Chains A and B, each alone.
Chain A
Amino acid sequence: MTTTVLVVIAIVLFALVIFQLAKTTEFVAILRGEEKTHLESDRINSRLMMVFLILGMIALFWSLDYFMEDMVLHAASVHGEWIDSMFNWTLFFTGIAFLFTQIGLFYFAWKYKHTKGRKALYYPENNKLEMWWTVIPAIVLTALVVIGLYRWFQITGPEPKDSMVVEITGKQFNWMLRYAGKDGVIGANQYEYITEGNGVGIDFNDPASKDDFMPTEMHLVVNKPVLLKIKARDVIHDVGIHWFRVKMDAVPGITTRFWFTPTVTTAEMRKKTGNPDFVYEIACDQLCGTGHFGMKGTIVVETQEEFDKWAATQQPFYDQAIKGTVEEKKFAELSEKLKQAEEAKAASQHH
């Protein structure tokens, strides 16, 4: 408490000093004459403009260098590399524009400060100049749009035929995963079947669903495309996997999709980063409630052999959590209820 009081007192005293200083300069200004005071503050502020430009540029390049390692994470997916290269090109052009305009702005502010006897130049217009600085940005932007859209349609286009499929469902506040079992098909699910025990509402009447398994960790095969089928059961979430440059909302009532090809295994990444505990993480990137910041999933990228070995150990969800439990009875009840509702609906439509 005493420290708080001391801090408050210090702030108040500091404010008083500044305030007195300000008052004093006002009196001095009156004594010295306004013009002289204005000339002096023009000189000081114009110099500060130059100081700001120089120190600002030093801080900019120093901090860029300092944080370079943390921020330039090399993408670990095929399309991620395309995006990173686009980012660099955009940075190149905007960087030129940034330096050109900021230096111009502060340099002119420093150079053309008010001085006695000098007149400003009456220069209201120059159509040629204005045409140039319309056309040049337009050309650069066109180039960026063309490259951007070319890549965009590749990224959002249909997934390759040999892709594996993983269903990922968001709920407050974790992710649920589902893989096709031996049949290679993920069974049907719908929200009417959701219970505490059947988190994504799998329809066990669909034979394809019987061998689906629901691991707690996502396993992917290196250099093999994967399609994520993304769902949510309560509010909007977002599957964000920064290393793979993946981000896609999970929206209740809608299935979204995103496919990508991981290029670096977890083991390789552990070597590359020097971090023996490295894991790929899924972060929720859309505010989903008060537990949003803890909504994490993890991914292991491995070779095909390792993956197959892992998949062989996975028990079907039905066998593991439903068969012979109270959940099986619950599902049967829900199934019956749904059937009746559908029949009633069909009957009413016949009338």
Chain B
Amino acid sequence: MIDPAISPATHKVFTGDSTHHQDSMGEIHEPHNGHHEHHKENFITKYVFSQDHKMIAKQFLITGMFWALVGGLLSVVFRVQLGFPNQAFPILETIFGKWAPGGIISPDFYYMLVTMHGTLLVFFVLTAGLSGTFANLLLPLQIGARDMASPFLNMLSYWFFFMASVVMMASFFLPDGASDVGWTAYPPLSGVKESSPGASAGMDYWLVGMALFIFSSLLGGLNYITTVLNLRTKGMSMAKMPLTVWALLITAVLGLLSFPVLLGAAILLIFDRNIGTSFYLDNIYINGHALPNDGGNAILYQHLFWFLGHPEVYIIILPAFGLVSEVLATNARKPIFGYRAMILSMLAIAVLAFVVWAHHMFVTGLNPFVASVFVFLTLLVAVPSAIKVFNWIATIWQGNIRFTPAMLYAIGFVSMFISGGLTGIFLGNSSIDIVLHDTYFVIAHFHIVMGVSAFFGMFAGVYHWFPKMYGRLMNNTLGYIHFWITMVGAYMIFWPMHYMGLAGVPRRYYSFDAFQSFNMFGGLNQFITLAAMLVFFAQLLFLVNFFFSIFYGRKLKTQNPWESNTIEWTTPINAGHGNWPGELPTVHRWPYDYSKNGEEYIPQTTPLREGETGGH
């Protein structure tokens, strides 16, 4: 049992009308004198070192948005080289100096951009920005807790993320630039400092940045799991939790079990680079001399990396599953179809996440029998994924759909997830992977299925919960324009990349001049670059809408603008630290009673009617 004196679920209650309140275990406690009336907050404790989960969520979101802008801009810059190879743009030299001599991006810089684009988007935006924002915002609010189990660790989690961000940012300004060895950082390229300009100091910064990032992720994950397991309000059984909570819980478990492995891999790599160990290095002759390293195995790193790396892509997509499920049900005014199947399929995906990593390594010389096991397990993932897609479509069938910007993004998400998911069936089959491995087909696949899809999930989440975050509404028209440009543009960017991949065009090529096999896509590359610029500028609409609406958006008039069932909408507009002014709400039913028995919606806090059961 939680000691009420230290439990965050109880010790921060401000508005003291009620003389009693309940903690998560449903026990009644006397309010603590001196705690509930004047909780002193100054600028620093409210906006900087805040321990309020809602503020930490905003910190994660805005930092994530910053990195999305940087990471997106990096891709626009390297797309200039791909779309307009060897064409001089003097402005590039003005901005980037020695990295773009004569207005043409240098190969060193190109590989640096590619590497940092991947690193920033995968980890800093779609992991920290997505999980960090919505786990923080929604977990306490949707399970009926006053804050996270440990608000202090939660604050640390953000500040470790911030430090990781500072280190990554700093690496751009090193004399030899940031890491340029690819976001997967395979040794020996990443393990030998002289193998590439960015493999020198930039790589050390990258590794330190990643280590800090992993600390942040672990502190956050521990907190999320503890919070969901211990601080659910009265009546909120696991089987009544919204799918967002399930998704974020499973995400946290995945992260907690897999990120430490990457930390181990990174530490061994730091040793190999700096103190002469040979975990990954063996028989290397480079730049005219032989290295003394002996007996290491470069493939070991890939096993360790992908043991995190594959769960990582589910860490990215699962929160989007949750957000989208919630937004679809709310706006279709229908229960999510197959609630239990949705949970079971997420659990199945989470379990499979740990036993499919070697499908990234089919052409490393992996034992063919081992590979065959991974083929089987990988294609199994398609089954729960298919269930989810069918269930989402069934959710909007016979609905009464309200097209909010969030809903558009949720529908867009399902479309993207189908398009990107199906190509995984090609890549997961090792024989076909021989042809497609490391081509643009792979780029198309993972950008659509986890990049664009996760972004769509995130946008759905931001548009939907913005009123909860800021007490104001975002502008719908801008939201609609933002959606349609992004939806069409994202397909224009990534769909044609399948065609290039089928022609064998390798990824991570600075130019295709040297090869007659791959030089027929000049026009297409130009088209993709222009589409990428268009989509990038459309994101500025979102940023303007977001920041403008924080200060000048239309004020929220009702507590529950989307007429939603989940209990975060029972908190006051602009709720203070502690979320509910009085008692915590009691939950009586599952969150998806939409259009039941002629009623538009029945919030979770509504007691059961006669003859009703808590489920469905």
Which chain A residues have a beta carbon within 8 Å of chain B's beta carbons?
1, 4, 11, 15, 18-19, 21-23, 25-26, 38, 41-42, 44-46, 48-49, 52, 56, 60, 63-64, 67, 70-73, 80, 82-83, 86-87, 90-91, 93-94, 97-98, 101-102, 104-106, 108-109, 112-115, 118-126, 129-130, 133-134, 137-138, 141, 144-145, 148-149, 151-153, 155-157, 171-172, 190-192, 194, 196, 201, 230, 233-236, 238, 240, 242-243, 245-249, 251-254, 256-257, 275, 277-279, 281, 283-294, 296
CA distance A247 to B341 in the complex (A): 39
B422 interface residue per 8 A CB criterion: yes
CB distance from A279 to the nearest CB of B (A): 7
Contact present for B517 and A283 (CB under 8 Å): yes
| 24 chain-A/chain-B pairs, Cβ below 8 angstroms | A19-B478, A21-B477, A22-B545, A25-B475, A25-B477, A44-B480, A72-B502, A87-B435, A94-B422, A102-B418, A114-B400, A123-B334, A130-B338, A144-B379, A145-B379, A171-B285, A234-B284, A238-B438, A251-B365, A253-B281, A275-B516, A283-B515, A285-B506, A287-B508
B186, B285, B296, B334: the one contacting A120 at CB < 8 Å is B334
Known pairs A72-B502, A290-B510 / 18 extra A-B pairs, C-beta < 8 Å: A18-B481, A26-B475, A60-B495, A67-B496, A70-B503, A101-B389, A102-B419, A105-B414, A108-B393, A157-B368, A191-B283, A251-B364, A254-B298, A286-B438, A289-B196, A290-B107, A290-B197, A292-B508
B400, B430, B437, B521: the one contacting A115 at CB < 8 Å is B400
CA distance A331 to B524 in the complex (A): 51
User: Given the complex, which residues of A lie within 8 Å of B400, measured CB to CB?
Assistant: 112, 114-115, 118-120
Contact present for A152 and B481 (CB under 8 Å): no
CA distance A235 to B594 in the complex (A): 58
CA distance A38 to B480 in the complex (A): 12
B611 interface residue per 8 A CB criterion: no
Q: Given the known A-B contacts A87-B432, A120-B399, A121-B334, are A19 and B517 also in contact in the complex, defined by CB atoms under 8 Å? A: no
Q: Which of A129, A138, A196, A251 counts the most B-chain CB atoms under 10 A from its CB? A: A251
CA distance A93 to B425 in the complex (A): 10
Q: Identify which of residues 510-525 in chain B touch chain A, using a CB-to-CB cut-off of 8 Å.
A: 510-512, 514-518, 520-521, 524
Contact present for B411 and A105 (CB under 8 Å): yes
Contact present for B368 and A152 (CB under 8 Å): yes
Q: Pick the interface stretch among B220-228, B251-259, B401-409, B580-588.
A: B401-409
Contact present for A236 and B341 (CB under 8 Å): no
Contact present for A18 and B541 (CB under 8 Å): yes
CB distance from A196 to the nearest CB of B (A): 6
CA distance A110 to B8 in the complex (A): 46
B2 interface residue per 8 A CB criterion: no
Q: Given the known A-B contacts A141-B425, A236-B298, A247-B434, are A108 and B516 also in contact in the complex, defined by CB atoms under 8 Å? A: no
B596 interface residue per 8 A CB criterion: yes
Contact present for A296 and B478 (CB under 8 Å): no
CA distance A59 to B36 in the complex (A): 61
A22, A118, A290: the one contacting B196 at CB < 8 Å is A290
CA distance A156 to B544 in the complex (A): 54
Count of A-B residue pairs with CB < 8 Å: 362
CB distance from A65 to the nearest CB of B (A): 11
User: Given the complex, which residues of A lie within 8 Å of B298, measured CB to CB?
Assistant: 236, 251-254
User: Given the complex, which residues of B lie within 8 Å of A15, measured CB to CB?
Assistant: 540-541, 544
A23, A87, A144, A288: the one contacting B189 at CB < 8 Å is A288
Contact present for A172 and B286 (CB under 8 Å): yes
Contact present for B107 and A148 (CB under 8 Å): no
B172 interface residue per 8 A CB criterion: no
Smallest Cβ-Cβ distance to B298: which chain A residue: A251
CB distance from B218 to the nearest CB of A (A): 29
CA distance A115 to B108 in the complex (A): 56
Q: Identify which of residues 357-407 in chain B touch chain A, using a CB-to-CB cut-off of 8 Å.
A: 363-365, 368, 371-372, 375-376, 379-380, 382-383, 386-387, 389-394, 396-403
B389, B520, B616: the one contacting A70 at CB < 8 Å is B520
Contact present for A97 and B422 (CB under 8 Å): yes
Q: Given the known A-B contacts A119-B595, A249-B365, A252-B283, are A149 and B372 also in contact in the complex, defined by CB atoms under 8 Å? A: yes
Q: Given the known A-B contacts A122-B594, A290-B107, are A56 and B491 also in contact in the complex, defined by CB atoms under 8 Å? A: yes
CA distance A230 to B393 in the complex (A): 48
CA distance A56 to B492 in the complex (A): 10
B493 interface residue per 8 A CB criterion: no
Smallest Cβ-Cβ distance to A156: which chain B residue: B368
CA distance A338 to B594 in the complex (A): 78
B229 interface residue per 8 A CB criterion: no
Contact present for A293 and B475 (CB under 8 Å): no
CA distance A192 to B341 in the complex (A): 59
Contact with A along B418-454 (1 / 0, CB 8 A): 1100110110011110110111000000000000000
User: Given the complex, which residues of B lie within 8 Å of A19, measured CB to CB?
Assistant: 478, 544
Contact present for B285 and A296 (CB under 8 Å): no
Contact present for A120 and B182 (CB under 8 Å): no
User: Given the complex, which residues of A lie within 8 Å of B189, measured CB to CB?
Assistant: 235-236, 287-289
A21, A144, A196, A242: the one contacting B503 at CB < 8 Å is A242
User: Given the complex, which residues of A lie within 8 Å of B195, measured CB to CB?
Assistant: 172, 234-235, 289
B333 interface residue per 8 A CB criterion: yes
Q: Which of A38, A126, A290, A291 counts the most B-chain CB atoms under 10 A from its CB? A: A290
Contact present for A130 and B596 (CB under 8 Å): no
B19 interface residue per 8 A CB criterion: no
B347 interface residue per 8 A CB criterion: no
B415 interface residue per 8 A CB criterion: yes
B554 interface residue per 8 A CB criterion: yes
B506, B541, B544, B597: the one contacting A122 at CB < 8 Å is B597
Q: Given the known A-B contacts A235-B195, A236-B298, are A106 and B517 also in contact in the complex, defined by CB atoms under 8 Å? A: no
CA distance A144 to B425 in the complex (A): 9
User: Given the complex, which residues of B lie within 8 Å of A279, measured CB to CB?
Assistant: 516
CB distance from B132 to the nearest CB of A (A): 29
A22, A80, A141, A233: the one contacting B284 at CB < 8 Å is A233
Smallest Cβ-Cβ distance to B345: which chain A residue: A134
CA distance A6 to B595 in the complex (A): 53
B537 interface residue per 8 A CB criterion: yes
Q: Given the known A-B contacts A26-B477, A120-B334, are A277 and B516 also in contact in the complex, defined by CB atoms under 8 Å? A: yes
Q: Which of A125, A153, A278 counts the most B-chain CB atoms under 10 A from its CB? A: A125
CA distance A253 to B278 in the complex (A): 12
User: Given the complex, which residues of A lie within 8 Å of B365, measured CB to CB?
Assistant: 230, 248-249, 251, 254, 256-257
CA distance A316 to B273 in the complex (A): 39
CA distance A72 to B435 in the complex (A): 12
Contact present for A11 and B434 (CB under 8 Å): no
Contact present for B425 and A90 (CB under 8 Å): yes
B197, B339, B368, B402: the one contacting A114 at CB < 8 Å is B402
Q: Given the known A-B contacts A122-B594, A133-B387, A145-B375, are A253 and B282 also in contact in the complex, defined by CB atoms under 8 Å? A: yes
A104, A141, A171: the one contacting B393 at CB < 8 Å is A104
B319 interface residue per 8 A CB criterion: no
B34 interface residue per 8 A CB criterion: no
B387, B430, B545: the one contacting A130 at CB < 8 Å is B387
User: Given the complex, which residues of B lie within 8 Å of A152, measured CB to CB?
Assistant: 368, 371-372, 375, 430-431
User: Given the complex, which residues of B lie within 8 Å of A97, measured CB to CB?
Assistant: 386, 418, 422
Smallest Cβ-Cβ distance to B295: which chain A residue: A253
Contact with A along B178-220 (1 / 0, CB 8 A): 0011100011110010011100000000000000000000000
User: Given the complex, which residues of B lie within 8 Å of A134, measured CB to CB?
Assistant: 383, 386-387
Contact present for B418 and A105 (CB under 8 Å): yes
A129, A171, A194, A257: the one contacting B290 at CB < 8 Å is A194
Q: Given the known A-B contacts A67-B496, A113-B401, A233-B284, are A290 and B108 also in contact in the complex, defined by CB atoms under 8 Å? A: yes
Smallest Cβ-Cβ distance to B545: which chain A residue: A22
User: Given the complex, which residues of A lie within 8 Å of B477, measured CB to CB?
Assistant: 21-22, 25-26
Q: Given the known A-B contacts A90-B432, A251-B298, A253-B297, are A124 and B339 also in contact in the complex, defined by CB atoms under 8 Å? A: yes
Q: Given the known A-B contacts A41-B480, A70-B499, A155-B431, are A122 and B335 also in contact in the complex, defined by CB atoms under 8 Å? A: yes
Q: Given the known A-B contacts A52-B487, A234-B188, are A247 and B363 also in contact in the complex, defined by CB atoms under 8 Å? A: yes
Q: Given the known A-B contacts A15-B541, A15-B544, A137-B383, are A240 and B339 also in contact in the complex, defined by CB atoms under 8 Å? A: no
